[in-house]
Amino acid sequence: MLSKRFKLIITSLVVLLSFTAVGFVANLNDTGISIIQAAQKIKYIGKDKYDIAQEEHKALLAKKKKLTKQVDSTNNQVEDIKNQEAQKEQEEAQRSAQVQPSSSTDTSSDNTRGDMNTSQSGQIVGNKNSHIYHVPGQRGYNMNSSNAVYFQDEQEAINAGYRKAKV
């Protein structure tokens, strides 16, 4: 008897395990297929994206190299311009140093006196300290701008109390 019962229990367990195994395998098979298919899709999509990213990376490296060259070139140009400006300033300083001694030694000429050229104005220029006015071309027309008073015509200078220079 034990053997029939034992056989029945074993058979029941085998059947139960079989159904469970079949269900598990079917479920695993469905899940396994979808996992494999998904993995293949992800692998395929990932490879495409990787290839695209690799191409973008190469393009960005080339762009970075080009921009680095441009920055270096621009920096070199800036340095060249600064050097040229410094050289021009030195040349101007040398020129002004050469011009100043010659003009400072020649104080007898009235044309070189004054800190501005009042003859460029084309107006009548009066000296506010002496109340004497000068017309263009007259000696003494160039004067210190802090003393200069400008008039449109001689009558305006006379009305302001100025007299015409004798020379």
- In order, the DSSP letters of 52-86 are HHHHHHHHHHHHHHHHHHHHHHHHHHHHHHHHHHH
pTM over 0.85: no
The angle formed by the CA atoms of residues 33, 17 and 21, to the nearest 5 degrees, is: 5
* Sign of the CA dihedral running 141, 142, 147, 153: positive
Q: pLDDT band for 76, please (50, 70, 90 cuts).
A: very high
- Whole-number Å distance between alpha carbons of 97 and 18: 112
pLDDT tens by residue, 88-131 = 888 887 777 665 444 444 444 444 445 555 556 668 888 888 89
Query: For the ranges 41-50, 55-64, 71-80, which has the lowest average pLDDT?
Result: 41-50
Q: What pLDDT was estimated at residue 152?
A: 87
Question: Which pLDDT belongs to residue 40?
Answer: 58
Q: Give percent above pLDDT 90 in the chain.
A: 23
List pLDDT tens digits, range 145-159.
Answer: 777 888 888 899 999
Q: Per-residue pLDDT averaged across 1-25, rounded?
A: 75
Confidence of residue 33 (pLDDT cuts 50, 70, 90): low
In angstroms, the CA 141 to CA 132 distance is 10
